[in-house]
Amino acid sequence: MIKNIALAIAITTFFLSCEKKKDVAHDEVTFAKFGDSISAENALSTSEMMSKYTSLKEGDTLDIAFTSTINEVCKKKGCWMTLALPEDNEAFVKFKDYGFFVPMNAQKKEVVVQGKAFISIESVDELKHYAKDAGKSQAAIDSIIAPKTTYSFVANGVLIAK
């Protein structure tokens, strides 16, 4: 009788451990690829990336990959996007050589980008152009009156969670 109970416990434990492995497989994120083939492995978190950005000076570049959430995508072509960084900061991402675009409805999706990070100062004209592309109101566009220091990124590859 004790052998039967031990056997029943062993079989139950075996099946429960198999069941957990199936759940983990469902939790894995699958990505759509844009641009060059890249990997999500070793990508920095947003807080790690913010630390890198704060150490950069204008003219510096850093080859790097990081993961974030997409805040906004160009509504005309998908030719740029903004990614969330800590403390309401954002990274402004363009794509290498204007060589690829991302889906215009990718807001709020998890993303991995690989490429060059740098600090840039955006002119008033550029900021107004980007605001227009984003579908901002004329009042919002007209409120842009000063250049802005931007956490910039030129991606050679992008992975967006499906």
Say whether pLDDT at 41 is over 80. yes
Residues 6 or more apart whose Cβ sits within 8 Å of residue 82:
70, 71, 72, 90, 91, 92, 93
User: Structure tokens of 112?
Assistant: 């991995």
What SS3 state is found at 91?
Answer: strand
State the pTM of this model: 0.71
Percent of the chain with pLDDT over 90: 75
pLDDT for 79-131, tens place per residue?
999 999 999 999 999 999 999 999 999 999 999 999 999 998 889 999 999 89
For residues 66 and 153, give the distance between their C-alpha atoms in angstroms, rounded to a whole number: 11
